[in-house]
Amino acid sequence: MAPTAPTAAKSASPSQPSGKSEVADLKQQLRQLAGSRAPDADDQRRDVFKRVISCMTAGIDVSAAFGEMVLCSATSDVVLKKMCYLYVGVHARNHPDLALLTINFLQRDCHDQDPTIRGLALRSLCSLRVPNLVEYLVSPLATGLKDPSAYVRMIAAVGAAKLYHISATACLDADLPAALKALMLSDPDAQVFGLLVCWPTAGSLFKSVIGGQVVANCMHALQEIWTLEAAKSEEAAREIETLYSKPVVFYLLNRIKEFSEWAQCLVLELVSNFLPSDNNEIFDIMNLLEDRLQHANGAVVLATIKVFLHLTMSMTDVHQQVYERIKAPLLTLVGAGSPEQSYSVLCHLHLLVMRAPMLFSSDYKSFYCQFSDPSYVKKLKLEMLTAIANESNTYEIVTELCEYAGNVDVPIARESIRAVGKIALQQYDVNAIVDRLLQFLEMDKEYVTAETLVLVKDLLRKYPQWSHDCIAVVGNISSKNIQEPKGKAALIWMLGEYSQDMHDAPYILESLVENWEEEHSPEVRLHLLTAVMKCFFKRPPETQMALGATLTAGLSDTHQDVHDRALFYYRLLQYDPAVAERVVNPPKQAVSVFADTQSSEIKDRIFDEFNSLSVVYQKPSYMFTDKEHRGPFEYSEDLTNLAVGAETTENTISAQRYQESDNDLLLSTSDKEDNATATSNGSSASTYNAPSDLSGPSLLSSQIPSETSLINPGAPTYSSQSNFSLDDLLGLGVPQASAPPPAPALTLNSKPVLDPGTFQKKWGQLALSLSQECSLSPQGAALLMNPQSLIRHMQNNYIQCIASGGQPPNYKFFFYAQKDGATAFFLVECIVNTASAKAQIKVKADDGTAAEAFSTLFQSALSKFGLS
């Protein structure tokens, strides 16, 4: 049990005492020692201090001794000093007045001869976190940043960030960020290692490590300060971009080997946000970092991989090569470290495997579970085996998985069976797998049977042609042997669905109904209701009795859903049995693909956040972090390296306005047709994305006016449509594809004005509304020899380009457009690959609700490129 109360931790060892009397005793002893000049006074103080800190660690409130601790702190003994500073740092916030007492000797120590003491004092001074002591901080910090000792500068750099958190204005007024920046780019000790030949002496090596840490801490501090400032000032937003600028990035990259491994990670993270101007730069960076893939520290390797993956995003061939290259180092890392370290690496491997299963399909043996793997590792490995199974390796993988099914580790056995089922669902040749699954049923272990039944059910939904083989085996299973609700429900579903093929289905169901009272799971009872209904329509005479009993039992059921469903069936049968049959037993089509649980947009987001917790949780960061705690790199898409669109539009001339809005109307009607075709295809319609819903309160408030203005004109047109969908919900034979209602019509302002700076800021602030892939006409793709042609075409559709770049076959554009008569802007990132005639678009909108409509409009404009 966890010691919830501090007293629970007491007397664990003689050094861990507890209780109020203890604190009083300590106070007493401290008071006696305060003025003592006895030769062994320091030793005695050490002992008492130790006990105080021991109490503090155990969670006992020792703040009452604050005054006495401070009194004892005037000492030259470093160990004592450190203990005292630790104590003061923890408790100063609650005793701001008493904390003032420590300022004096801390300030004095800041001028000590010994750099170790200076550093120590400065660190403690900045850790007090007392707002009204800020005035005492600024000058020691400013001095500290210029201290001759790198150790002190290193501490001062972090101190600046600490100060910012206590008082932002004090930090900015003292111009500390500028000092940090200067230090970062020209720290004297950091320069030392630039001159070192390949064999550094121990001393210089040491010096350079500390020097490197000065630079790294400046980076940390600047990132933190500017990221938080960027929300308030544009200047800070610009400053943050200078961190990702070519001079800074190359300066750091050239020295990367002299940084500590932790600082290397920081530099690499920074580089992954850098947008090189041409391919040569990309290759230079990759060549320079190549050997980082052989680093023993997994964090360095993963950070390097992130750089490689992000740099080569637009170069498909090289991107593939990167995958090939990183495979071996990642697999080595999996084997090298502790299970915890392998877990994190495996999570990243999993992400890559999901993106490129083919690439890893020959390495399937690396993902076999080892006996000693902890269950969290085994689970991941099973998922990977599932993902990489293809024609060539399925036999081996399934054989291995079948071994795990009998495993003593029950959760893993279950997962393995599920994995076999998943593989069966994604393969075309399921023959052999079905046999194996059916063999599981013969193992006669309850959990194995239950898991397998669920899978057989899913398999049958996808491959109805297997029903005969499966039903033969399933029919032999006694429902009494299955207790788990999921497995039981699956069995009952099969009994209902295939009652015409299973000889004794009505009787099995009947016996289940007889035990209605003992069935605890509502899920099973619901399935039982439906199964009996299905069976009734297939074999009425044999089931009639059971149906009556079922409906009676269902109607008196205490569970609301069960009761309601029973009543619904009852009324439906009363109304017209023919209709009831259409509802319960409609002709079914095989399920071709089971719904993916995660949208591709979310997957892309996670990939963008490679080497972060997002990969472990398989969730993008906005789902598990507060806005204020988002990392420094969160909103850092960068436009600086793209050429600003050559043809910037002139300012609007209002005289042309009327005519143009007529054109808008015309355009919007033709778009409506496009809308209709697009949605009936169904494929692109599913992306009403979570991010736009979750993007945070700050967005919502600003978009309310535009939202209403947008919806009103469109609303009447679609009212009939919504009636349809209501009918459809009842399932009464309206043979309509489940098309979502088309998005409201949208007209665009013909001459919107947005300057690049604002664009960039908006792009940084807005959440992604949607991201889609769409295609260009082949003619259009052929025509796209330079960005200008497309820019002109889009301009005719009132979509303006703000920046473009790239080499054939890949182009990148940033477009924007504005809703007519409103202030809301749409921002688009569009990456076109002319070789495949495909385009990736990412839309961000001030008004998230209109993003879908805009995207449709945008795609239609794009698809017409080259056709006129």
Partner 1 sequence: MISQFFVLSQRGDHIVFRDYRGEVPKGSAEIFFRKVKFWNDDEAEEAPPVFNVDGVNYIHVKVAGLFFVVTTMVNVSPSLLLELLQRIARVTKDYLGVLNEDSLRKNFILVYELLDEVIDFGYPQTTSTEVLKSYIFNEPIMVDAGRLPPLGPAAMFMQGTKRMPGTAVTKSVVATEPGGKKREEIFVDIIERISVTFSSSGYILTSEIDGTIQMKSYLTGNPEIRLALNEDLSIGRTGSSSYDYRSSSGGGAVILDDCNFHESVHLDSFDIDRTLHLIPPDGEFAVMNYRITQEFKPPFRVTALIEEAGPSRAEVLLKIRADFSANVTANTIVVQMPVPSYTMRASFELEAGAIVGGSEHTLRAKLTFSQESHGNLTKEAGPVNMNFTIPMYNTSKLQFSVIQD
127-146 residues near partner 1, rule: CB under 8 A: 127, 129
Residue 192 or 803 with smaller CB distance to partner 1? 192
Residue 721 CB, shortest distance to partner 1, in Å, is 41
How many angstroms separate the CA atoms of 725 and 706, rounded? 27
Return the C-alpha torsion angle 214, 218, 221, 223, nearest 10.
-140
Interface residues for partner 1 in 184-243 (CB under 8 A)?
Answer: 198-199, 202, 205-206, 209-210, 213, 216-217, 220, 224
Residues numbered 786 to 845 that lie near partner 1 (CB under 8 A) are: none
Least Å distance, CB 54 to partner 1, is 7
Residue 94 interacts with partner 1 (CB under 8 A): yes or no: no
Nearer to partner 1, 380 or 743 (CB): 380
| Parallel, antiparallel or unpaired: strands 825-833 and 800-807 | unpaired
C-beta of 341 vs 796, nearer to partner 1 = 341
Spatial neighbors of 499 by CB under 8 A, at least 6 apart, are 505, 506, 509, 531, 534, 535, 538, 539, 543
How many amino acids of this chain bind partner 1 (CB under 8 A)?
Answer: 112
Are 241 and 638 in contact, with CB atoms under 8 Å apart? Answer: yes
Work out the number of other CB atoms within 10 angstroms of the CB of residue 272: 22
Q: Which of the ranges 370-378, 532-540, 750-758, 780-788 carries the binding residues for partner 1, by CB under 8 A?
A: 370-378
Give the tokens for residue 111. 């001028």
Instruction: State which amino acid sits at residue 671.
Output: D
Verify binding: residue 2, partner 1, rule CB under 8 A.
Answer: yes
Residue 732: which of 538, 580, 589 has the closest Cα?
580
Q: Which of 12, 545, 729, 867 binds partner 1 (CB under 8 A)?
A: 12
Distance of CA 471 to the CA centre of its chain: 42
- The tally of CA atoms less than 13 A away on the side-chain side of residue 137 is 31
853: nearest Cα among 694, 699, 723, 718: 718
Give me the helix-helix angle, 234-243 and 756-765, nearest 10°: 80
Whether 707 and 847 have beta carbons less than 8 Å apart is answered as yes
N- to C-terminal Cα separation, the chain: 74
CB of 263 to partner 1, least distance (A): 8
Cα radius of gyration rounded to whole Å, the chain: 34
- How far, CA to CA in Å, does 592 sit from each of 81, 243, 312, 747? 70, 49, 34, 38
Query: 273 or 675, CB closer to partner 1?
Result: 273
Q: Provide the minimum distance between the beta carbon of 775 and partner 1 in the complex, in angstroms, as a whole number.
A: 34
State in angstroms the smallest separation of the CB of 478 from partner 1.
Answer: 15
Least Cβ distance, residue 846 to partner 1 (angstroms): 26
| Residue of the chain from 26, 299, 353, 508 that contacts partner 1 (CB under 8 A) | 299
Q: Which residues, numbered 105-124, are part of the site for partner 1 (CB under 8 A)? A: 116, 123
Which x/- pattern over 672-711 shows residues binding partner 1 (rule: CB under 8 A)?
----------------------------------------
Tell whether residue 16 is a contact of partner 1 (CB under 8 A). yes
Enumerate residues 6+ apart whose C-beta is below 8 A from 609.
615, 620, 621
Query: With the C-alpha atoms ordered 572, 574, 576, 580, is the resulting torsion angle positive or negative?
Result: positive
Are 830 and 865 in contact, with CB atoms under 8 Å apart? no
CB of 739 to partner 1, least distance (A): 37
Should residue 71 be labelled a site residue for partner 1 when binding is judged by CB under 8 A?
no
Q: Closest approach of Cβ 512 to partner 1, in Å? A: 25
**CB of 335 vs partner 1, minimal distance in Å:** 3
Tell whether residue 596 is a contact of partner 1 (CB under 8 A): no
Q: How far is the CB of 641 from partner 1 (least distance, A)?
A: 25
Cα atoms in the Cβ-side hemisphere of radius 13 Å centred on 177: 21
**CB of residue 549 vs partner 1: minimum separation in angstroms?**
34
User: E strands of 392-511, at which residues?
Assistant: none
Judge whether 404 and 413 are in contact, CB under 8 Å: yes
CB-CB contact of 850 with 746 (8 Å):
yes
Residue pair 405/437 in contact by the 8 Å Cβ criterion = no
> Residue 301 interacts with partner 1 (CB under 8 A)?
yes
Distance CA 448, CA 470 (A): 16
Binders in 417-436 for partner 1, by CB under 8 A: none
Kindly tell me which residue out of 71, 347, 356, 583 binds partner 1, with binding defined by CB under 8 A: 347
Give the SS3 label for residue 736: coil
Stretch touching partner 1 by CB under 8 A, among 131-139, 342-350, 382-390, 721-729: 342-350
Binding of residue 665 to partner 1 (CB under 8 A): no
Report the distance separating Cα 649 and Cα 642, nearest Å. 18
Among positions 136, 250, 283, 368, the unique one binding partner 1 when judged by CB under 8 A: 368
Question: Nearest 5°: phi and psi at 772?
Answer: -140, 160
Which residues make Cβ contacts (< 8 Å) with residue 63, sequence separation at least 6? 91, 94, 95
Closest CB 436 distance from partner 1, rounded Å: 13
Q: Which is nearer to partner 1, 588 or 629 (CB)?
A: 629
Residue 9 as a binder of partner 1 (CB under 8 A): the answer is yes
Nearest-approach distance from CB 88 to partner 1, in angstroms: 13
What is the number of alpha carbons within 13 Å of residue 123 lying toward its C-beta? 16
Q: Which helix (H) or strand (E) holds 194?
A: helix 188-195
Q: Look up tokens 């071994």; give the residue.
A: 403
DSSP letter for 745, please. Answer: P
Positions 519 through 578 that interact with partner 1 (CB under 8 A):
none
Can residue 768 be called a binding residue for partner 1 (CB under 8 A)? no
Nearer residue to partner 1 within complex by CB, 211 or 506: 211
Closer Cβ to partner 1, 601 or 852, answer by number? 601
Q: Give the 3-state secondary structure of residue 15.
A: coil
Distance CA 323, CA 307 (A): 12
From 160-168, 462-470, 471-479, 818-826, span contacting partner 1 (CB under 8 A): 160-168
Q: Which is nearer to partner 1, 625 or 840 (CB)?
A: 625
Q: What CA–CA distance (Å, rounded) separates 519 from 513? A: 9
Q: Least distance (Å) from partner 1 to the CB of residue 760?
A: 22
Question: Residue 529 CB, nearest distance to partner 1 (Å)?
Answer: 29
155 binds partner 1 (CB under 8 A): yes
- Least CB distance to partner 1 at residue 614 (A): 6
Task: Write out the two tokens for 312.
Answer: 């080569």
Among 63, 75, 245, 260, binds partner 1 (CB under 8 A): 260
Work out which of 84, 152, 345, 509 binds partner 1, going by CB under 8 A.
345
Q: Which is nearer to partner 1, 402 or 573 (CB)?
A: 402
Tokens of 360: 């890893």
295 binding partner 1? (CB under 8 A): yes
**Applying CB under 8 A, which part among 180-188, 402-410, 500-508, 736-744 lies near partner 1?**
402-410
What mask of x and - would describe binding to partner 1 in positions 603 to 642, judged by CB under 8 A?
Answer: ------x-xxxxxxx---x--xxx--xxx--x--------
Q: Taking the complex as a whole, how short is the minimal distance between the CB of residue 159 and partner 1, in angstroms?
A: 8
Half-sphere exposure of 527 (CA within 13 A, CB side): 22
511 HSE (CA, 13 A, CB side): 8
Considering only residues 41-60, where is the footprint of partner 1 by CB under 8 A? 50, 53-54, 57-59
CB of 40 to partner 1, least distance (A): 17
Q: Is 162 in the site for partner 1 (CB under 8 A)?
A: yes
Site for partner 1 contains 19 (CB under 8 A): no
294 sits near partner 1 (criterion: CB under 8 A): yes
Member of 20, 82, 146, 232 binding partner 1 (CB under 8 A): 82
